[in-house]
Amino acid sequence: MKGKLLTVGLAFLCLLWVGKLSAQSVIQTTDVTVVYSNSQSNSTFENVNKFYFSNGNLVLDQNGVETSIPTNTVRRLELAAISTFNDISEWDEDAIFVYPNPTSDKLFFSCKDHQEVTVSVYSMNGQLLQSEQMNTSESLNVSSLAKGMYIIRINNQNYKFSKF
């Protein structure tokens, strides 16, 4: 049974990266739609087993057949997922998932219950760049940040994210 279409790219990578899900949780991508940054039509790739970034390209693996797309042409990815979580009760009470990672403009948050949090963004050398009180149902605008790696601190939990 197909889950809902995730319209923000790379959500499942963030969930795996944070590593707070139980070993029984499964995230399996089946279809990936690439929305391009220019006026080019969207492309949908079915039965994608995995995707990754290599040498400035997004690489989609469809049962051993790889398709490379230059990342500078991609605006966002839309993922159709099967069984994103076995049961939300399996989430760590304090787990907050940050996605998409990498991002170009906004970060979204997912957690067991929406909550008020302090979100701070730091450069890799520890300089505070941005800090906001917000609800986890809101998105964080990071479009003004330069391309690179950042640390985001949410209620004493640290995460890394990339801006492209």
Strand order through the sheet with 2-6: 2-6, 74-82, 28-36, 43-46
Q: For residue range 37-71, what is the model confidence (pLDDT) as tens digits?
A: 887 788 888 877 777 788 888 888 888 889 999 98
In the three-class reduction of DSSP (H, G, I as helix; E, B as strand; rest coil), residue 85 is classed as coil
User: Average pLDDT for residues 96-102, to the nearest whole number?
Assistant: 84
In this structure, the dihedral spanned by the alpha carbons of residues 71, 143, 3 and 69, taken in order and rounded to 10 degrees, is 0
CB 5 within 8 A of CB 80: yes
Q: Note whether 159 and 105 are same-domain residues.
A: yes
Residues contacting residue 86 through CB under 8 Å, at least 6 positions apart? 22, 24, 25, 26
Residue 94 lies in a domain: no
Q: Give 120-134 as a DSSP string.
A: EEEETTS-EEEEEEE
Q: In whole angstroms, give the CA distance from residue 83 to residue 68.
A: 26
Domain count for the chain: 2
CATH assignment at residue 9: 2.30.30
Residue 88 lies in a domain: no
Name the residue range of residue 14's domain.
2-82
Q: For residue range 5-20, what is the model confidence (pLDDT) as tens digits?
A: 333 333 433 333 333 3
Which of 4-18, 77-91, 133-147 has the largest mean confidence? 133-147
